[in-house]
Structure 1
């Protein structure tokens, strides 16, 4: 992805946290079936490999896994908070009107080859870990083992797992770092006062600069 130097994020812990906080990633690949994208929840294991390893699963009816099985490099996009930035947020506009709108955002891109998993045991582990992750915090968390085992066996036959050891990892943290401290504060205050929750989310990240 294009990412100018002031907005590049290289802190591995912060990148992994962004990935863990993203509830739905986008898996993109190109192969025999053309350019394909699938939206899917994922698990990140930061301790496996240089940049971590990602686990997920696809429907067996989704042709994308057949391209991935051929060794095609895949891209996982982890979107984050984003917000429109109005020139009116810049105090400097009063002295220099040569300003235009822009967009602030957070994103992480992970690249790597994909291993396709068909075996029931590792598939069950993936879906169980995903379920436990998203059920945590509920008063009565549902577990995969709550469903009949023969039903789960049938569901596992309808999916394939994927394992993506991350070969390259890019992070974008575009939070007006190319502006003056006064303009950054103006953007942060403007977004904090917005009625839109996504704007407030972005402002919260700007407070960490």
Structure 2
């Protein structure tokens, strides 16, 4: 990922927080027939050694499953909030429009898991993270295992020990403080959720840049 120096984000805690917040990611591999991409929910575990462990699951009917089994290198992309930025919001307007955005790239060699109970455990964790907080009546653990088991055979879990983790937080760090304040005010005034989220990240960046 091309990342000019002002936009580099390499704080591990910040990158982990981003992955968890934007956890519906894109898994990319390159196989004999070219590039493949699947959009998947990811779980993240921090580890004592290395940038972390990503876990997801996908259908065995997905052609990417065969590439993963073959040991294809994997790239997981996590896209955060983004917003168009017009020079009209700057004090100094002798420039061009741009796009503020946040993205995290994780690379590693995947391990495919096909054992039933291991897949079941991944699904339980996924349900606990995404479904349980909604407070609905559906209960995954209450489903008869005889009903669940055949479906477990139709999917595979995938673990990706992350080898490299890259973060790009392009938030006008190369503009003046007044220009950045102008962008923040405009995005908040427009009220689009993506833009408001970008404005919030810009405020955080500016606060961190203030000498303590």
- Calculate the TM-score normalised by the size of structure 1: 0.94
Which residue of the partner structure matches residue 69 of structure 1? 69
Correspondence 1:192 to 2:183: no
- Would you say how many aligned residue pairs link Structure 1 and Structure 2? 205
- Calculate the TM-score normalised by the size of structure 2: 0.93
RMSD value, Cα: 1.3
Task: Determine helix, strand or coil for the equivalent of 1:50.
Answer: coil
Which residue of the partner structure matches residue 42 of structure 1? 42
Gaps of 5+ in 1: none
Say if 1:116 and 1:33 are closer, same or farther in 2 by CA, change over 3 A. farther
Which residue of the partner structure matches residue 54 of structure 2? 54
The CA distance in 2 between the partners of 1:86 and 1:31, in whole Å, is 40
Which residue of the partner structure matches residue 29 of structure 1? 29
Which residue of the partner structure matches residue 203 of structure 2? 207
Conserved? CA contact 1:188–1:206, under 8 Å: yes
Which residue of the partner structure matches residue 150 of structure 1? 146
State the 1:83 CA deviation. Answer: 0.2
Which residue of the partner structure matches residue 162 of structure 1? 158
**Once the two structures are superposed, what CA deviation does each residue of 1:46-96 show, in whole Å capped at 9, x if it has no partner?**
126410000000101011121112221110000000000010010122xxx
The CA distance in 2 between the partners of 1:19 and 1:143, in whole Å, is 26
The CA distance in 2 between the partners of 1:144 and 1:137, in whole Å, is 13
The CA distance in 1 between the partners of 2:89 and 2:112, in whole Å, is 48
**Once the two structures are superposed, what CA deviation does each residue of 1:148-188 show, in whole Å capped at 9, x if it has no partner?**
21111011001011000000100011100000111111111
Task: Determine helix, strand or coil for the equivalent of 1:65.
Answer: helix
Conserved? CA contact 1:28–1:38, under 8 Å: yes
The CA distance in 2 between the partners of 1:204 and 1:187, in whole Å, is 11
Which residue of the partner structure matches residue 108 of structure 2? 112
Conserved? CA contact 2:23–2:43, under 8 Å: no
**Once the two structures are superposed, what CA deviation does each residue of 1:92-126 show, in whole Å capped at 9, x if it has no partner?**
22xxxx21000000110000000000001110111
Which residue of the partner structure matches residue 20 of structure 1? 20
